[in-house]
Amino acid sequence: MDPVSLLSTSTDDGRVLLAAAQSGWDRPVPHCPEWNAEDLVRHTGGIFEWMAAVVAARERVSRRTVVPSPDDQADLSGWYLDALDRAVDVLGSAEPDSQTWTFSSIGDQRVAWWCRRLAVEIAIHRHDAELAAAVDGGPSPAPIDGDVAVAGVEEFMIEFLPGLLSGEGISGLNGTLHLHATDGPLEWWVDLGDAGAARPEHGKADTAVRATRSNLLLWLTNRVPSDSLEVIGKLEITERWEQLRR
């Protein structure tokens, strides 16, 4: 998915996230157990401010130097929307392949890296906010846009999985894993015993997981349980996946 399209989904998801949060500021967020909906908006708006500052400066920026969230809850929505618009405008006006600081684990120092990070971050937290509302009697969360999910799975496999597998206390996650989307093009083959070496291709594996693109990303990030997937082969990987939290 090209960076411009990713930014378009970011705007839409960002506004839906806020609307869900506004329907119950004190509502707990199940997949962010230390936060309520207000905390989620403050966190996400702060991420917007930081991303915009980094890309504007083209260098690392301390989060402590960006515009903080307002103390008054009545001012929170306006601050959040301003931060969202600023992040989308700054990233959208920059050449995607131009250089900037990122925290990429593979050394990707392009603005396009931030476009993907922004889209995936907002999409997942939008799902978090909608799920919190659903638990409180609202409608079920909408799926993550399929193309954003593809970008998110790619990011997870390349940027985050190797580091998560090397964390302390991780056990029983070995062998090979194949992900296969049921609603569009997305396949990954992963060797969990080789520091999460991953390739975007079909391949025979000890465990195969089939689901929609949205649910594959949500499972990887521990937002949906494995019983919402079609799992073939050894079940140990899906049963122990929750150890990998970021």
pLDDT in tens, 129-146: 999 999 999 999 999 999
Q: pLDDT tens-digit profile of 198-242?
A: 999 999 999 999 999 999 999 999 999 988 899 999 998 998 998
CA-to-CA distance for 212 and 146, rounded, in angstroms?
Answer: 8
Q: pLDDT tens-digit profile of 34-53?
A: 999 999 999 999 999 999 99
Residue with the two structure tokens 């799926």: 143
Query: 145 lies in a domain?
Result: no
In the prediction, which pLDDT does 246 show? 59
Instruction: Find out whether 40 and 129 touch, Cβ atoms under 8 Å.
Output: yes
Instruction: Find out whether 146 and 184 touch, Cβ atoms under 8 Å.
Output: yes
- CATH number, domain of 47, equals 1.20.120.450
Same domain, 126 and 70: yes
Percent of the chain scoring above 90 in pLDDT: 85
Same domain, 7 and 98: yes
pLDDT at 1 over 90: no
Q: pLDDT tens-digit profile of 153-173?
A: 999 999 999 999 988 888 888
More confident residue, 245 or 98: 98
Q: Which one of 115, 135, 155 terminates a domain?
A: 135
Q: What residue type is 73 in one-letter code?
A: Q
Q: pLDDT tens-digit profile of 170-205?
A: 888 889 999 999 999 999 999 999 888 999 999 999
Residue 29 has which token pair? Answer: 């967020």
pLDDT at 128 over 70: yes
| Sheet with strand 187-191: strands edge to edge | 197-199, 187-191, 176-181, 207-211, 230-233
Among 176, 174, 122, which Cα is nearest to 144's? Answer: 122
What SS3 state is found at 211? strand
Strands 176-181 and 207-211: parallel
Same domain, 196 and 104: no
Q: What residue type is 80 in one-letter code?
A: Y
Domain that holds residue 226: 166-243
Confidence label for 3 from pLDDT (cuts 50, 70 and 90): confident
What SS3 state is found at 120? helix
